Chain A
Amino acid sequence: AQSVTQLGSHVSVSEGALVLLRCNYSSSVPPYLFWYVQYPNQGLQLLLKYTSAATLVKGINGFEAEFKKSETSFHLTKPSAHMSDAAEYFCAVSSTYGNNRLAFGKGNQVVVIP
């Protein structure tokens, strides 16, 4: 079974500073990895996904993530935080075959300090 771990439920970052959200996964088969963002009273929106092509994945709103198999990690970064980045972020993993479900982490609530 796949799982992901996101540490630190709340993350505070100053406007203009680096955003770094950590995600470590566990999977017995090659994984697909995703980052989703959830704004208040809205559904989850896909930021980016890794599906075994390039290990550095660029997403929307200036976010990117790097797949590191040796570290079983898929950390999300953005060079400069904006006030509009305040939201909850979820890392998720699924399997390359035989499994069509997403396993989500507990999420990181990002607060941007002006």
Chain B
Amino acid sequence: ETGVTQSPTHLIKTRGQQVTLRCSSQSGHNTVSWYQQALGQGPQFIFQYYREEENGRGNFPPRFSGLQFPNYSSELNVNALELDDSALYLCASSLVDRLSRFSGANVLTFGAGSRLTVL
């Protein structure tokens, strides 16, 4: 089975620009979560998508938005980039059902991440 793949692996943007990061979930998984990992920090939850709808959001401003597609792949969009947005962005997928989608026991499979540098 294929794992979680993310693209691009590295990118450089300037302040004020917009960026789109992409994620293909592991085969058979239906839920995607996004995390931001700043240098020297643990990952911070951005949001999760279940069956194309947002299923929980962390403490991030509205300029962070996302999409999930019918094939369960996902995009993370960040508008009006700021210097502090420089980080590794991790995508994780999992398989949940309607009852367990709010369960914290679901195991996540992480991709290798997209490293964003904002100058």
A binds B: yes
- Bound together, the chains give a CA A92 to CA B106 distance in angstroms of 13
The A/B interface has a contact count, at CB < 8 Å, of 74
Residue of B nearest to A2 (CB): B104
> Given the known A-B contacts A9-B40, A101-B56, A101-B58, are A43 and B104 also in contact in the complex, defined by CB atoms under 8 Å?
no
Residue of A nearest to B111 (CB): A43
Chain A contact patch, size range: 20 to 34
B12 within 8 A of A: no
Residue of B nearest to A109 (CB): B40
B68 within 8 A of A: no
B110 within 8 A of A: yes
Main secondary structure of the interface of B (DSSP, over half): loop
B51 within 8 A of A: no
Which segment, of A13-21, A45-53, A63-71, A77-85, faces chain B? A45-53
Chain B contact patch, size range: 20 to 34
Among the listed B40, B56, B112, which residue makes an inter-chain contact with A43, where contact means beta carbons less than 8 Å apart? Answer: B112
Residues of chain B within 8 A (CB-CB) of A96 are 103-105
A61 within 8 A of B: no
B113 within 8 A of A: yes
* Per-position binary interface string of chain A over residues 87-114, scored 1 when its CB falls under 8 Å from any chain B CB and 0 otherwise: 0001010111111111111110000000
A7 within 8 A of B: no
Among the listed A41, A98, A100, A105, which residue makes an inter-chain contact with B112, where contact means beta carbons less than 8 Å apart? Answer: A41
A28 within 8 A of B: no
A-B pairs with beta carbons under 8 Å apart, 22 shown: A9-B40, A31-B104, A43-B3, A43-B90, A44-B43, A44-B92, A45-B110, A51-B105, A90-B42, A94-B105, A96-B104, A97-B103, A99-B56, A100-B101, A100-B103, A100-B104, A102-B104, A103-B45, A104-B35, A104-B42, A106-B41, A107-B41
Report B's interface with A, CB cutoff 8 A. Answer: 3-4, 33, 35, 40-45, 48, 55-56, 58, 90, 92, 101-113
